[in-house]
Amino acid sequence: MSPVRDLAPIGLEVPNKLSVILGHILPSTVAVPCVPSLLHYDPRDTLLGSAFLVRQYIDGSTLQELESRLTSEDRRELDRQLGLLVNMIGQHTANSFGTLEQVALGSGTRSWREAFLVHVESILRDSEDVFVHLPYAEIRYQVGRLSPVLDEVTSPRLVICDIGRPSTVLLDPASKQLAGITGFDSALWGDVYMGEIFEDPSPAVLDGFASRDIECEPDLIRQLLYACYRSIHNITIQYYRERNPAAEIEARRRLTRVLTKMAAIELVETRVGV
C-alpha cells in the first residue's frame, strides 16, 4: 500500500462530538495511512470565537469521479489498499459496543447484538418520525429473529460503516492511488464486517483484509442484517435532506430483496448454536 502523501495544508472545521472522539482514537502518533490526523482541538473558543479543530488536509478526487478512468489493475490495487486500511482501522478495540459517543461516555454494551438492535431501532424511529412508508413490523420481526447470530461477535472493533462507498474514497488523480477516506460520522465500535465494503467484496478486498470469503451461513446472515440496516438508512436520509428519487427507489428495491432473503432463512437459532 502506498504511504499517505506528505501534506502541508491543514483543514479547519467546526467540530462535532464524533470527529473529536475519533481524532483522539486515531491520533497523529498512530500510523494509519489515509486517515487525516487531528492536529489541534480548541473546545473553549479561545482563538477564533468558537470551538474548532484542525485536521491534516488530504487532497484528492473521489472514486465516484475517477472510477471510469481506472484500469482493472488499478481497481484491484485500490481494493487491496482499502481492505488493508479496514484491517488497520479495525485493530483499534474498545471494551464495549456502541457508537463512539456511547462508548466514550461509558454507556456502551457488552453485547454486539444489543448494540446493533438499538442502532436499527434508532433508524426505524427516525423513519417513523417523518412518516416514511416502510414494512416496520416485518423489519423488526426479521431483524429480531436473526439477530442471535450477532452474539458470535465478541470483540468491539472500530469500523467506519461507509468505508468503500465511492463518494468517501479519495484518490490521487495522477497515480490513481488511495489518498484518503472520509465518512467518519459513520464510525462505531462493533463488527468490522458492518463496513459497506464487505457487502459484496472483491477478492482483492478480502486479500488486503487478510480474510477468508464470506460464505458460511452465520457470516451471510450478518451481512443480510447489515444490508437491511443500510437500506433503511439510505431510504430514511432522503426525508431529511433534498430527496433523490432514484436513490430512494434503488434502496427500497434493495430492502425488498434483503427482507425476502431474510424470510427464507429457517430455524437459524438452532443451527448457529447461540
pLDDT grade, residue 8 (50/70/90)? very low
Top pLDDT among 33 and 41 is at 33
Average of pLDDT values for 2-20? 37
The amino acid at 218: P
In-domain check, residue 20: no
Which domain, by its residues, includes 178? 61-267
Average of pLDDT values for 31-60? 56
- Model confidence at 9: pLDDT above 50: no
pLDDT, residue 20, reads 46
Q: DSSP letter string over 176-212?
A: --EEEE--GGGEEEE-GGGSGGGSS--HHHHHHHT--
Please state, in angstroms and as integers, the Cα–Cα distance from residue 143 to each residue in 88, 97, 137, 203, following that order. Answer: 29, 18, 10, 28
- Model confidence at 1: pLDDT above 70: no
pLDDT, residue 2, reads 35
Q: How many domains does the chain have?
A: 1
**pLDDT 10s digits, 50-104:** 554 455 567 789 999 999 999 999 999 999 999 999 998 898 899 999 998 888 8
Report for 108-117, 156-165, 200-209: range of highest mean pLDDT? 108-117
**pLDDT 10s digits, 123-154:** 999 999 999 999 999 999 999 999 999 999 99
pLDDT grade, residue 46 (50/70/90)? low
In-domain check, residue 40: no
Top pLDDT among 217 and 21 is at 217
In-domain check, residue 28: no
pLDDT, residue 12, reads 34
- Which three three-digit cell numbers place residue 178? 488511495
pLDDT, residue 272, reads 43
**pLDDT 10s digits, 178-225:** 988 887 788 899 999 999 999 889 999 999 998 766 667 889 999 999
β-pairing, 38-42 vs 98-99, is unpaired
Question: Using an 8 Å Cβ cutoff, are 252 and 235 in contact?
Answer: yes
In-domain check, residue 9: no
Bridge partner list, 99: 188
In-domain check, residue 4: no
Average of pLDDT values for 233-240? 95
- Model confidence at 37: pLDDT above 80: no
The mean predicted confidence, pLDDT, of the chain is: 82
The amino acid at 124: L
Which pTM does this prediction carry? 0.80
Q: What are phi and psi of 69, to 5 degrees?
A: -95, 0
In-domain check, residue 48: no
The Cα–Cα gap between 174 and 151 comes to 45
- Model confidence at 15: pLDDT above 70: no
Strands (E), 145-269: 157-160, 169-171, 178-181, 187-190
In-domain check, residue 34: no
In-domain check, residue 128: yes
What CATH number corresponds to the domain at position 180? 3.90.1200.10
**pLDDT 10s digits, 242-272:** 889 999 999 999 999 999 999 999 854 444 4
